[in-house]
C-alpha cells in the first residue's frame, strides 16, 4: 500500500510554479509588478536569449530590508496584505506572496536590494531552492535588482515547452508593453541581447501620454483613433479606440486596464464587440487602449492566479457603461452623422 506523504516545500513550490511561471514572459510580469508595487519610477529590463538565459529587472523602488530578503523568496510571504479586509480592497498588483518562491524554485535567482537610509545593500541568492538562500552584503543604490538565470534548468519537462528565442521574446515584449501602458508616469527600458528595444521616458499630460501610446502601439493607431473620457455613477472610462477603418485581422491591439491592471475579460470583450458590431466587417477586430477606473471594492481580482480575469460586483452596469460609451463615440464618428457632412 502506498502511504500518504507531505510534499517537500521545494516540490510544492515547483508544482505551484506551474500555475504562474509558464515562460520568461510570466516571470517578467511578476518582476515588473513587484517593481511597480514598490513604487518604482524607473525600471530597466535586460534580457538574454529570449529571457531563458537571463532576465534582469532593476528598479528604484522602496527596496527590501536585510531581514526580509530571504523571506521574500518564501511561499505565502507578502508585505502587501495582512488580513481578509486587505484582500477585499487590494490596491497592489501582487498579494499572493507566491511569485518569487515559484520563480526561485525553477531558476537561479539573485535579488539585490537597498532601502532608503540603509548604509548597506544586501543580496540573496538561491539555486532552484536546493539550498537555503545565501545572504551577503552588496553594492546597490536604493531599489532592487532581481536576476533570474537559466529558467527551468532543473525542470527539463517544462523547459521542453519553451519555443524559439524569438517567440519567447515577443511574448515577453508584449508583457512589458502592457505594463508600460498601465503606468505612463514610470520610465521603462528594455534591452535584448545587448540591443535597446525601447526606452520610454515618463509621460505626463495628454501630449506625452499620446506619445507613449504611439511608441508602444505604433503611430498609426494614435492617428486613427478617438479619444474617450466618460464618467457615470462612479465609473470612468478613458483612453483611445481605433476607428473602424483601423481594425485588424487579429485581436492583437487590444489593451484594457481596470484600475491599472491589464485584464482579459469576457464581459469587457463582449461589450466592446457589441459597440463595434455595426461598424466593423465580419472577422475584423477592433483596436483599443482603454482604462476603466472603479472603486476597488466593487471588483474582485483574486479570481485566478495570473489575475487576468476579474469579477465585477455589478457586471451588467459595467457592461452597459462600456457599451454605451463606446457606441456613442463610434456613432458620432460615422460620416453621415458628422455635422460637417450635412451641408
Ligand atoms: P507578492 O508580490 O504577491 O507579495 P512576491 O513573491 O512577488 O509576492 O514578492 C514577495 C515580497 O517581496 C513582496 O510582498 C515584497 O515585499 C517583496 N518584493 C519583491 N520584489 C520587490 C521589489 N522589486 N521591490 C521591493 N520589494 C519587493
Ligand atoms: Mg509579486
- Whether the CB-CB separation of 5 and 71 falls below 8 Å is answered with no
Asked if residue 311 and residue 178 are part of one domain, the reply reads no
* ipTM for the assembly: 0.99
Domain end position, chosen among 172, 200, 228: 200
Asked if residue 224 and residue 193 are part of one domain, the reply reads no
Residue with the smallest CA separation from ligand 1 atom 8 is: 97
Asked if residue 180 and residue 46 are part of one domain, the reply reads yes
Between the CA of 79 and the centroid of ligand 1 the distance, in Å, is: 7
Asked if residue 50 and residue 174 are part of one domain, the reply reads yes
Residue with the smallest CA separation from ligand 1 atom 16 is: 79
pLDDT in tens, 258-285: 998 888 889 999 999 999 998 998 899 9
Domain of 85, CATH number, reads: 3.30.565.10
Asked if residue 181 and residue 230 are part of one domain, the reply reads no
- Whether the CB-CB separation of 321 and 307 falls below 8 Å is answered with no
Asked if residue 314 and residue 277 are part of one domain, the reply reads yes
**Non-local CB neighbours of 81 within 8 Å, separated by 6+ positions:** 87, 90, 92, 95
145 CB near ligand 1 (under 6 Å): no
Asked if residue 174 and residue 60 are part of one domain, the reply reads yes
> Which atom number of ligand 1 is nearest to the Cα of residue 63?
25
| Gap between the Cα atoms of 108 and 105, Å rounded | 8
Residue with the smallest CA separation from ligand 1 atom 14 is: 78
> Which atom number of ligand 1 is nearest to the Cα of residue 146?
23
| Gap between the Cα atoms of 67 and 69, Å rounded | 6
64 CB near ligand 1 (under 6 Å): yes
The residues facing 121 across adjacent strands are: 138
pLDDT of residue 342: 35
Asked if residue 148 and residue 33 are part of one domain, the reply reads yes
pLDDT in tens, 161-183: 999 999 999 999 999 999 999 99
78 CB near ligand 1 (under 6 Å): yes
Q: Say how many domains are in the chain.
A: 2
Asked if residue 246 and residue 188 are part of one domain, the reply reads no
pLDDT of residue 304: 66
Residue 338 placed within a domain = no
- Whether the CB-CB separation of 266 and 276 falls below 8 Å is answered with no
Asked if residue 310 and residue 191 are part of one domain, the reply reads no
Asked if residue 309 and residue 269 are part of one domain, the reply reads yes
Between the CA of 193 and the centroid of ligand 2 the distance, in Å, is: 25
Which ligand approaches the C-alpha of residue 73 most closely? Answer: 1
Domain of 247, CATH number, reads: 3.30.230.10
126 CB near ligand 1 (under 6 Å): no
Residue with cell 487590444: 254
| Gap between the Cα atoms of 111 and 69, Å rounded | 8
Residue 340 placed within a domain = no
Residue 209 placed within a domain = no
| Gap between the Cα atoms of 163 and 166, Å rounded | 8
Of 157, 288, 266, the residue nearest 221 (C-alpha)? 288
Q: Quick check: helix, strand or coil at residue 219?
A: helix
Please give the radius of gyration of the chain, using alpha carbons only, rounded to the nearest integer: 22
pLDDT by residue, tens only, the chain of 343 residues: 888 888 887 777 777 777 678 899 999 999 999 999 999 999 999 999 999 999 999 999 999 999 999 889 887 788 888 888 887 777 788 777 889 999 999 999 999 999 999 999 999 999 886 667 889 999 999 999 999 999 999 999 889 999 999 999 999 999 999 999 999 999 999 999 999 999 999 999 999 999 999 999 999 999 999 999 999 989 999 999 999 999 999 999 999 999 988 888 899 999 999 999 989 988 999 999 999 999 888 888 766 656 677 889 899 999 999 999 999 999 988 655 444 333 3
The residues facing 145 across adjacent strands are: 58, 112
Cell of 106: 525553477
> Which atom number of ligand 1 is nearest to the Cα of residue 72?
12
pLDDT of residue 31: 97
Give the mutation target among 20, 26, 28, 34 for probing the ligand 1 site: most ligand atoms within 8 A of CB: 34
pLDDT of residue 131: 65
Asked if residue 320 and residue 191 are part of one domain, the reply reads no
Domain end position, chosen among 167, 200, 233: 200
Domain span including residue 99: 9-200
The residues facing 144 across adjacent strands are: 59, 113
94 CB near ligand 1 (under 6 Å): yes
pTM to 2 decimal places: 0.89
Angle among Cα 80, 138, 57 to the nearest 5 degrees reads: 50
Amino acid at each position: 500500500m502506498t502511504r500518504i506523504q507531505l510534499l517537500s516545500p521545494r516540490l510544492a513550490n515547483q508544482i505551484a510554479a506551474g500555475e504562474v511561471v509558464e515562460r520568461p514572459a510570466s516571470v517578467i510580469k511578476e518582476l515588473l509588478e513587484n517593481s511597480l508595487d514598490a513604487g518604482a519610477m524607473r525600471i530597466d529590463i535586460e534580457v538574454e536569449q529570449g529571457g531563458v538565459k537571463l532576465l534582469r529587472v532593476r528598479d528604484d523602488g522602496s527596496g527590501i530590508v536585510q531581514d526580509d530578503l530571504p523571506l521574500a523568496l518564501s511561499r505565502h510571504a507578502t508585505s502587501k496584505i495582512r488580513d481578509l479586509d486587505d484582500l477585499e480592497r487590494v490596491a497592489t498588483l501582487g498579494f499572493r506572496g507566491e511569485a518569487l518562491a515559484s520563480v526561485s524554485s525553477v531558476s537561479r535567482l539573485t535579488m539585490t536590494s537597498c532601502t532608503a537610509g540603509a548604509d548597506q545593500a544586501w543580496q540573496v541568492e538561491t539555486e532552484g531552492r536546493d539550498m537555503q538562500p545565501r545572504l551577503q552584503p552588496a553594492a546597490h543604490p536604493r531599489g532592487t535588482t532581481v536576476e533570474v538565470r537559466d529558467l527551468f534548468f532543473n525542470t527539463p519537462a517544462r523547459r521542453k515547452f519553451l519555443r524559439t528565442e524569438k517567440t519567447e521574446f515577443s511574448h515577453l515584449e508584449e508583457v512589458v508593453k502592457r505594463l508600460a501602458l498601465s503606468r505612463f508616469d514610470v520610465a521603462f527600458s528594455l534591452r535584448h541581447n545587448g540591443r535597446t528595444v525601447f526606452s520610454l521616458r515618463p509621460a505626463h499630460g495628454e501630449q506625452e501620454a499620446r506619445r507613449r501610446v504611439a511608441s508602444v502601439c505604433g503611430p498609426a493607431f494614435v492617428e486613427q483613433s478617438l479619444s474617450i473620457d466618460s464618467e457615470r455613477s462612479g465609473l470612468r472610462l478613458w483612453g483611445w479606440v481605433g476607428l473602424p477603418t483601423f481594425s485588424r485581422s487579429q485581436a492583437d491591439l487590444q489593451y484594457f486596464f481596470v484600475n491599472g491592471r491589464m485584464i482579459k475579460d469576457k464581459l469587457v470583450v463582449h461589450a466592446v464587440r457589441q459597440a463595434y458590431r455595426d461598424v466593423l466587417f465580419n472577422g475584423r477586430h477592433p483596436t483599443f487602449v482603454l482604462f476603466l477606473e472603479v472603486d476597488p471594492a466593487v471588483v474582485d481580482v483574486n479570481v485566478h492566479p495570473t489575475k487576468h480575469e476579474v469579477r465585477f460586483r455589478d457586471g451588467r452596469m459595467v457592461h452597459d457603461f462600456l457599451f454605451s460609451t463606446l457606441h456613442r463615440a463610434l456613432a458620432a464618428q460615422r460620416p453621415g452623422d458628422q455635422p460637417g457632412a450635412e451641408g
